[in-house]
Structures are given as structure tokens and as C-alpha cells.
Structure 1
Amino acid sequence: MEYADGKIIAEATDGVGRITFNQPEKRNAMSIAMWDGMAAALEVFEHDAAVRCVVLTGAGDKAFVSGADISQFEKNRSDADAQREYGKKTGHGRERLANFPKPVIGEIRGFCMGGGLGIAMSCDIRIASSDSQFGIPAAKLGIAYGFDMVTALVSLVGPANANMILMTGDRFSAEEALHFGLINKVVAPEALSATVAKLTATLAVNAPLSLRANKRTVKQVGFDPDKRDMAAIDAATVACFDSADYAEGRRAFMEKRKPVFTGR
């Protein structure tokens, strides 16, 4: 499937959905149409029971996503009012990614900057090649990032590292990003695809209801206590313990075999 005139490519194989940001000539910078395309692809994957997890990656070897498409700034982000309108136009994609119920893995190679880092931070697990670079160049563009993105940054790296990243606007290496807590693992460029494939193969055979429930609970832990949806957490927990998959998991353990989960 292709969206945004081919700048978003979506495909699913062996339980794994894959979304590729496909604008390598601009280092996969995100246009408004690409945000809409990503949202559309995620919606398809959300309702496809065969898809157990999703990988986000960039085309080529230069970038995951280098940020927003700056060529659209003069038209769409020229001042505060235009920025608010830009936020509305891209908000559906951001919301779809932030609330996607299945595991999302960021396969990161090359530049992961600005809004691209925002996309990566919305992933549940981030695997990066050793030649990747990370940063938020807000201070070098004279702009401020929204509360949601800064909250995500602080939750991953803490206030001190968040200040370093935001105030300097510098690029940081994959090893520095790992040290900060921005990413989960750094691997050699030639090992990136295989490492992600091994991870997704594991997720694709794990119990879907368990993956969803635990992802939801981890997210709720980051909220203020009075904003946590404990009823939703309880409902997801009950659904797991009442599921056929739980019974299958118990039987497989007793029979010393691998379970076959169906998501029911």
C-alpha cells in the first residue's frame, strides 16, 4: 500500500506491519501529507488482526526522519497562528501514533532529528544503527516544541539531559543517545535489519492481548495519578486472564511446547 503519493509505504508480512518514510531525497522529512499517510497506514494495521506489531523506518541509509519538511515552513509555519494550524493538520497522525494499541518499533538509521525524533519517541522500542544521529534543533531555528513532545523527551531522558538536547540544539551520536535513554539498543549498520527482525519475530508470536495490556499500563504509569485510566487497565487485565490465549499459554507450559496465540 502507498500513501502520500508514494512517500509513505506500508506492507505486512508474517505478522509484522512495516511503514517506510519514503522521501530519501529530503532525508525523509515529513510533509503534512506524509503525516496523514502514516495515520491511514496505522489505521489499517490496527484493524488487521494478523498484524501483531509495527516497524517504522526510513528509506535509504541517510535518515530515519530528518524532521519536518522545512520547504513547507514559509507557507504552513510562518508565525504562531500558522503553527497552530500546522499542529491541527498534523495532529491526527501524531494522535494515531501515540494511541496505537500494538507494539511499535523504531528501526533508526542515519538522521533522527526534530519531529523525526518525536516520531521515534512515540515508538515503544527504538533500535538504532551506530551511525545514527539524534537531536532537536529548536534553538537553532528559533522555535519551541510542544508540551507533549517535551513531556515524552523528559520521561525518557530526565530534565537535565532534556535541557542539554533542547538548549544546545546539537546532534548527538547513537552512543550518546543510548546513554541518555533515548534508544534501547545500538547495533552495527549491517546488523540493524536482522536485529529488528529478530525482535519483531518474538513479538509476533507473543500473546496479542498481553502486549496490548502491558503497553497500555506502561503508558498510564507516565500519567499523573488523577489522569490514569485505571478502569481501562483493569478491563485489559481481566480480558487477558479470561482469554483463550491464557488457557493456551498454561497448556503449552505444562506440555513443554511453544504456545499458539490467536488474540482471543
Structure 2
Amino acid sequence: MATAEASENRLLVERRGRVGVVTFNNPAKHNAMSLDMWREGREAVATFAEDDEIRCVVLTGAGDKAFVAGADISKFENERSSVEHIEVYNEAVADFHDTVQNLRKPTIARINGYCIGGGLAIALDADIRICSDDSRFAVPAAKLGIGYAFEGVRRLYDIVGPQFVAEIFYTARQFDAEEARIMGLVNRVVPKAELDDVLWPLADRIAGNAPLSVQAVKASLIELAKPQGDWDLSQPDEAVRKCFGSNDYKEGRTAFMEKRTPNFTAT
């Protein structure tokens, strides 16, 4: 049975079997992010990182209008009103992104509507992005006079390439779900009414696979997201060795021969 805990700072943390769920819960403002939400989001993901029962993490937005529509501009007067405040805010944002990007478990962004600015940056943190057909994507920095940091540009560049990075940033316009699919920004576009019918079975399927095998691939993906000169192959290599020395490796072979569903224990 799924359990959920509501936060007064507009974050929901839920466990659906072996799937951990972080829901950005500010629907009145299209789930726009405040400083507290960035901090609590990092804490939620870090908690799932340490929870051996959780094998996949889903990021999503509350309601049916938005994933995350960027930063909560109404909070800027207090949270980003000076250079010092901006540094504190940016550190919280960076800590969130670092925690999600380095989570050694698979992640899925369930995109249901507006995915704008900081919301798109959150979606890019995920390994897999599934969106409803009414979703909209944009980085409106050029409309707001905001300078976009190199790492944020590079992450988008690695996913969609230079031509689409240029169009997204230069025009600052909204792109629809089909355009996002063509760019390679999302894995799949599904009818809005079918989003959960696609998303949750996918998450459960991933969570049911051998976690050590999945983690070995994730270790490689973490390194591949870095500039080649910064690669540390010791983590992927160790993760692969751990697979072949595991009980799950034996269980997988035995279950295949016995034509049954394997019971993986991450040991």
C-alpha cells in the first residue's frame, strides 16, 4: 500500500511498493519551486538513496496542470533579493540537482503539463522522461534577463544537441510535447488520460529487475554525463564485478531455467 507524507513546505514523499515518489505540491502556482522545496526535494531523494527497499524514484508534479513551472517568483523578494540570498538559493538548487543526478538508482520524470525553466532542469536530471500530450516545455531565461549557467546548458546540450539548445534558449518560446519528442527531450508522449497507465507499470517493471544490474548501468550513465576527462571508471567496474559475484546473478539464471519470475534481493 502506498504511503504519503505531506510537508508544510509543499512537498509530498511517497512509497509505492519499491518505487519512491517525490511530488512537487504547489498546484496553485503550477508547482513553482521555493527555496524550501529545493531543500526538501534534496532531502527526500537522499533518503531514498539510503533506502534499500526503494529501487526506482519518480519525480512528478501535483495536479494535472504542471510538472514544475520554474521558480516561485513571488518568493524572489525574500529568497533572491541580494547577491548573498541568490548564492544561498543557487547552492540549494545545485545540491538538489547533484543529489538527483548522482542517485545510484533509476529515476523517471512523470511530466504532466507545464515543464518550464527550473522544472525542465529537474526533468533533465531524470534518466527517463514520460510526458502527457498536453505538456509544454520552455526555458524563458531570455525573457527575464537571466544568465543560464554552463552546466545547465551542457546538460541540455548532451540530450538534444546544439541546434535545439540554440532554439530553446534563443527563442525562449514554449514547445509542445511532440516537438519535445522530436528533439529527444522526452522518451515518450502519451495521451493525458493514459499517463499513469504507462508510467507506473514502467516504474514497477524497473523496480522488479535485478537492482545490482540496473545500478551498474546507472554508474556508467553517471560517468558518461561528465566530460570524458573526468570519468572515473572504478565505480562502474566495481558495480559490474558486484553483479557477477551476487546471489541475484545465480537467481536470474535459475529462474530463467525454471521459467519463473526471479526474486532479486540485491545481494
The interval holding the TM-score normalised by the smaller chain is over 0.9
| Letter matched to residue 226 of structure 1 | G
Establish whether residue 137 from structure 1 lines up as the match of residue 140 from structure 2: yes
Residue pair 1:4, 1:36 contacting (<8 A) in 2 also = no
SS at match of 1:28: coil
Q: Using the TM superposition, give the Cα deviation of residue 45 of structure 1 relative to its aligned residue in structure 2, in angstroms.
A: 1.3
| Letter matched to residue 13 of structure 2 | A
Residue pair 1:7, 1:21 contacting (<8 A) in 2 also = yes
Partner of 1:154: 157
| Letter matched to residue 78 of structure 2 | K
Residue pair 1:3, 1:37 contacting (<8 A) in 2 also = no
Task: Normalising by structure 2, report the TM-score.
Answer: 0.94
Partner of 1:189: 192
Q: Using the TM superposition, give the Cα deviation of residue 219 of structure 1 relative to its aligned residue in structure 2, in angstroms.
A: 2.6
Task: Normalising by structure 1, report the TM-score.
Answer: 0.95
% identity of equivalent residues? 45
Deviations 1:13-53 (A, max 9, x none): 22111111100011100001001111121122112111110
Gaps of 5+ in 2: none
Deviations 1:125-160 (A, max 9, x none): 000000000010000000122222111100010011
| Letter matched to residue 42 of structure 1 | V
Partner of 2:223: 220
Residue pair 1:220, 1:228 contacting (<8 A) in 2 also = yes
Partner of 1:262: 265
RMSD (CA atoms): 1.5
Residue pair 2:133, 2:192 contacting (<8 A) in 1 also = yes
Count of matched residue positions in the alignment of Structure 1 and Structure 2: 264
Partner of 2:181: 178
Residue pair 2:59, 2:107 contacting (<8 A) in 1 also = yes
Q: How far apart are the structure 2 equivalents of 1:146 and 1:153?
A: 11
Q: Using the TM superposition, give the Cα deviation of residue 78 of structure 1 relative to its aligned residue in structure 2, in angstroms.
A: 4.1
Partner of 2:248: 245
Q: How far apart are the structure 2 equivalents of 1:4 and 1:88?
A: 21
SS at match of 2:59: strand
Q: How far apart are the structure 2 equivalents of 1:42 and 1:106?
A: 13
Q: Using the TM superposition, give the Cα deviation of residue 81 of structure 1 relative to its aligned residue in structure 2, in angstroms.
A: 5.3
Establish whether residue 19 from structure 1 lines up as the match of residue 5 from structure 2: no
Partner of 1:106: 109
| Letter matched to residue 232 of structure 2 | D
Counting only pairs closer than 5 Å after superposition, residues 36-115 of structure 1 correspond to structure 2 as 36-78=39-81, 82-115=85-118
Q: How far apart are the structure 2 equivalents of 1:116 and 1:4?
A: 19
SS at match of 2:161: helix
Q: How far apart are the structure 1 equivalents of 2:17 and 2:112?
A: 23
Q: How far apart are the structure 2 equivalents of 1:209 and 1:37?
A: 27
Residue pair 1:64, 1:112 contacting (<8 A) in 2 also = yes
SS at match of 1:89: helix
User: Would the alpha carbon gap of residues 37 and 82 (structure 1) be closer, same or farther in structure 2, given more than 3 Å must change?
Assistant: closer
Q: How far apart are the structure 1 equivalents of 2:232 and 2:133?
A: 38
SS at match of 1:41: helix
Q: Using the TM superposition, give the Cα deviation of residue 107 of structure 1 relative to its aligned residue in structure 2, in angstroms.
A: 0.6
Establish whether residue 121 from structure 1 lines up as the match of residue 137 from structure 2: no
